[in-house]
Amino acid sequence: MATLEDHPARYALTGELHARPFPRLSTRGTAVFLVLRPAGDASDRDRAADLAHLRRLLDHYGAPRPDPDATHYHGPLGRYQIKWEQHTEIVTYTIFSDAQGDRPFAPAEFDVFPSDWLAETPGERITSALIRVVPHPGPAEQVHDALSDWFVGESLAVARVLDDAAVIASDFRIDPAGHLRMAVFASPETGERRIGRIVQRLCEIETYKAMSMLGFVELRAAMPQINQLDKRLTELMTGMQGPAQGAEDTLHALLDVSVALETLQARLAFRFGATDAYEAIVYQRIGALREARFMGRQGFGEFMMRRYEPAMRTVKSTERRLGSMAARAIRASELLRTRVDVERSAQNQQILASMDRRSDLQLRLQHTVEGLSVVAISYYAVSLATYLLYPLADTLGLAKGVLTAVITLPVVGLVWLMLRRLRSRLG
Q: Where are the domains of the chain?
A: 18-193, 213-350, 367-426
Percent of the chain predicted with pLDDT > 90: 55
What single-letter DSSP state applies at residue 25? -
What pLDDT score was predicted for residue 41?
66
What tens digit of pLDDT does each residue of 205-254 get? 999 999 999 999 999 999 999 999 999 988 888 877 766 556 777 888 88
Q: Which residue has the higher pLDDT, 253 or 45?
A: 253
Rounded to an integer, the average pLDDT of 396-415 is: 73
Query: For the residues 64-76, what does the mean pLDDT come to?
Result: 89
Residue (of 22, 26, 32) closest to 180 by Cα position: 32
Per-residue pLDDT, averaged over 120-141, amounts to 92
pLDDT at 1: 53
The helix or strand, by DSSP H or E, that contains position 192, with its residue range, turns out to be helix 192-239
As a whole number, mean pLDDT of residues 331-338 equals: 82
CB-neighbour burial class of residue 427 (10 A; exposed 0-12, middle 13-18, buried 19+): exposed
Q: Determine the average pLDDT of the residues in 98-126.
A: 92
Tell me what the mean pLDDT of segment 334-342 comes to. 78
- Do residues 134 and 150 touch, judged by C-beta distance below 8 A? no
Beta pairing, strands 80-86 & 91-97: antiparallel
Per-residue buried b or exposed e for 85-118, using 16+ beta carbons within 10 Å of the residue's own CB: bbeebbbbbbbbbbebeeebbeeebbebbeeeee
Across the chain, what does the average pLDDT equal?
A: 87
More confident residue, 352 or 112: 112
Structure confidence at residue 357 as a pLDDT band (50, 70, 90): confident
Q: Per-residue pLDDT tens for 1-24?
A: 567 888 888 877 777 676 667 888
pLDDT digits (tens, 9 = 90+) for 157-187: 999 999 999 999 999 999 999 999 999 999 9
What was the pLDDT predicted at 163? Answer: 92
Determine what percent of the chain is predicted with pLDDT higher than 70.
Answer: 91
Tell me: pLDDT of 155 over 70. Answer: yes
- In this predicted structure, the answer to whether residue 287 has a pLDDT above a threshold of 90 is yes
- Residue 302 confidence (pLDDT): 95
Q: Provide the pLDDT for residue 365.
A: 72
- Phi then psi dihedrals of residue 105, to 5 deg: 55, 40
Mean pLDDT of 332-348: 79
Under the banding of pLDDT at 50, 70 and 90, the label for residue 370 is: low
pLDDT at 400 over 90: no
Q: How many other CB atoms sit within 10 Å of the CB of residue 331? A: 12
